[in-house]
A and B are shown apart, each in its own frame.
Chain A
Amino acid sequence: MSETTVTPPETRNKLTGGGSAGRAGDKIFSGLTLAAGILIFVVLAVVSLFLVLEALPAMTAAPDQITSHQSFWSYVAPLVVGTLIASAIALVVATPIAIGVALFISHYAPARISRTVGYVVDLLAAIPSVVYGAWGYLVFGPALVPGYKWLHENLGFIPVFGQPSATGRTLLTASLVLSVMILPIITAQCREIFIQTPSLHQEAALALGATKWDMIRAAVFPFARNGIISAIMLGLGRALGETMAVTLVLSAGALTPNLIGVGNNTIPAEIALNFPEAFGMRQSELIAAGLILFVITLLVNMLARWIVSRYSEFSGAN
């Protein structure tokens, strides 16, 4: 671009100056921007290709070559299940609360408070995950131990509430920390959509004698449905790929149905715990696990887009 800034001195106007130089500038600049776009294309292709190439040795290896002396798939299946359970619990806990908080900010809180609260939520969405992890590890987990004991004593017949952990570093704690993490993200997205609800719709509903809740059900939710779904999917994507919070909070082990005891693990935590020391086949195993995680998040994203596009014609947003 630098050569094009030198314009002939006799031109009348600085902006229109330099006939051939300007034309070349147009070509160069559009080529440059296109190249950047294609670079993204290439990077993603290389990411996928690389992951597949590095993962193939582990996926096709004989069971006795795998570090844990079983086939790769039986090694990775418990991790996938653990990841899905943790994300599902996080989502189930966080979504209703997030929608509630978003409604609070957009429709219930007094105007003065709501701006501050919305701003605070934005800031909380920016807190690094390692801080959430440290909090879950040192504060939240120990605080949950009495609750886990109570659950085991009173509901112990359900396999989910087995022998409780003494440190509180369990999959349920990790899921709850994840839900705290994704809460500001879902809230911020939902609030954006709720605020955009056409005020004419809302006022029309109120003028017909609707209570505030009637109005929200009739005007806000139909308008915001796509936004809510994509917010949830965004939160799910974050929960699936979240590494540090789980790595710090969970005292990892084999897959068990017991959510309040030691055990279970997720793919990102497994990679973070083992990759720094891994080489050879072990490294390939972890990269293969990473590939599976990548595919899962990709599917979640695609599903979100498909749902949004499917419902977009009914949304009334236009």
Chain B
Amino acid sequence: MSTTTETSQQSPRPQRSAASGNTLKAGQLPSWSRAATLAGSLAVSAVIFLVAGWNWVPVLLVAALLFLVAHSAWTFAVEGRRHGQDAFWGTVVWMAFLLALIPLVSIVWTVVANGAPTLVRPGFLTHDMAGVTGVQDRLAQRGGDLAGGIQHALVGSLLITLAATVISVPIGLLTSIWLVEYSRGSWLSRTITFLVDVMTGIPSIVAGLFAAGIMMVFFEWQSGGISGGRQTMGITAAIALSVLMIPVVVRTTEEMLRVVPNELREASYALGIRKWRTIFKVVIPTAISGIASGVTLAIARVIGETAPILVTAGVATGTNWNLFHGWMMTLPVYIYRQLVNPTAPAAPDPSTARAWGAALVLIIVVMGLNLLARVIARRFAPKTLGR
């Protein structure tokens, strides 16, 4: 890409009848024109700011529009229509980038600035919310110590995500192996590929509904037709997350297996090695870095899911280590509950502080998993690939 960046700036322009000076630069804007236009538009909008007394948001908007119009009009006048268009769209692309930065920077900044003070409090990671009542929160609002923490949510998130991984990774791996190595493009493989695509699009809340319902039906059947009500527990949430995770694992693994060069498989077959051993000893080791990083990314995706867990594992204030009994708290649900149902409705600030702290932890976990995926992909990449 860097070559194109360079070339367009100095690309040969049609010769124009320049009156005097350097003929190579004839018909081109001087290099300072962009900076000058930018300074000019900023100055004009600053004047508007002083005269009309707007706040800075409309002023920046006006400056951006002024720059866009002035810069492309000037280029159009000096260099011609095509270069005018080029300047216009180039500016639009830069502005899109700057515009996109605003909310994204704002989110990261908000979470870090609000979350860090809570996170560094001693005990935030090692206490749960059992026994924390509105009384303590009202005290905290008036300057007391912030009670409670996120231990129960950390434990819940860890267990549920682990269970979801244990369920979905074998299924996902085996399915993609079948698709790549065994299916030979049969109608069944096309159907399964299609279904995996459909599964990718299942809204997370629908996955939650499904898991809640399937457990309800299963327990009713098991207990001989007596409805046991809703089975709100960790494993139900893990099933919901697996529905979301399996298609991601299948997709990434399939891609990774497909890029394993066929020569490797054929070399192995030529040595008389059976197919399943070829897959285990040759294909998977070659693709393992990509598979591992894909699985890590899938974990990072489901660990932040809120809605399916809200309708399957419920909410809790105490630490629950048992996936198969009782309600469980997870980090995303914790954030949600602290925001919409503050512990002390009249004094919501401590709850909000806890929510931001938990959000920071969640973001750190997700980012950490993403970084880990990158490291895995790089460190364990096959060394024998001759390209």
Residues on A facing B (Cβ under 8 Å): 4, 15-16, 22-23, 25-26, 28-30, 32-37, 39-41, 43-44, 46-47, 50-51, 54, 96-101, 103-104, 106-111, 114, 117, 120, 122-124, 126-135, 137-140, 147, 180, 183-184, 187, 195, 199, 202-203, 206, 209-216, 237, 240-244, 247-248, 268, 271-272, 275-276, 279, 286-287, 290-291, 293-294, 297-298, 300-301, 305
Contact = CB atoms under 8 A, between A and B. Distances in A.
A134 B196 CA distance: 31
B65 interface: no
A297 to B, nearest CB: 5
Interface in B177-202: 177-179, 181-183, 188-189, 191-192, 195-202
A243 B205 contact: yes
Contacts of A25: 274, 276-277
B154 interface: no
A37 B203 contact: no
B93 interface: yes
Contacts of B202: 47, 241, 294, 297
A183 B279 contact: no
A169 B207 CA distance: 27
Nearest to A296: B203
B8 A212 contact: yes
Contact of B307 (A4, A44, A244): A244
B304 A128 contact: yes
Contacts, number: 299
Nearest to B92: A100
The residue in A16, A212, A247, A291 that gathers the most chain B C-beta atoms within 10 A of its C-beta is A212
23 contacts: A29-B275, A33-B175, A33-B178, A36-B175, A40-B171, A40-B199, A51-B209, A100-B96, A107-B5, A124-B104, A127-B366, A128-B366, A131-B304, A132-B107, A135-B106, A195-B1, A209-B11, A209-B12, A211-B8, A211-B86, A244-B306, A244-B332, A276-B314
Given A40-B171, A101-B100, A54 B11 contact: no
A123 B104 CA distance: 11
Interface stretch (B29-37, B334-342, B375-383): B334-342
Contact of A301 (B201, B205, B230, B332): B201
A272 B332 CA distance: 13
A30 B178 contact: yes
The residue in B8, B83, B363 that gathers the most chain A C-beta atoms within 10 A of its C-beta is B8
Given A104-B94, A124-B104, A275-B209, A30 B182 contact: yes
A294 B203 contact: yes
Contacts of B174: 32-33, 35-37
Contacts of B306: 128-130, 243-244
B86 A138 contact: no
B89 interface: yes
A33 B181 contact: yes
Q: How large is the interface on B (under 10, 10 to 19, 20 to 34, 35 or more residues)?
A: 35 or more
Contacts of A237: 201, 203
Contacts of B182: 30, 33-34
Nearest to B96: A100
A128 B200 CA distance: 17
Contact of A128 (B8, B83, B305): B305
Contact of B175 (A40, A212, A244): A40
B332 A293 contact: no
Interface stretch (B43-51, B127-135, B354-362): B354-362
B206 A294 contact: yes
A50 B97 contact: no
Contacts of A135: 106-107, 110-111
The residue in A104, A111, A130 that gathers the most chain B C-beta atoms within 10 A of its C-beta is A130
Contacts of A30: 178, 182, 275-276
Interface string B312-343: 00110000000000000000100110011000
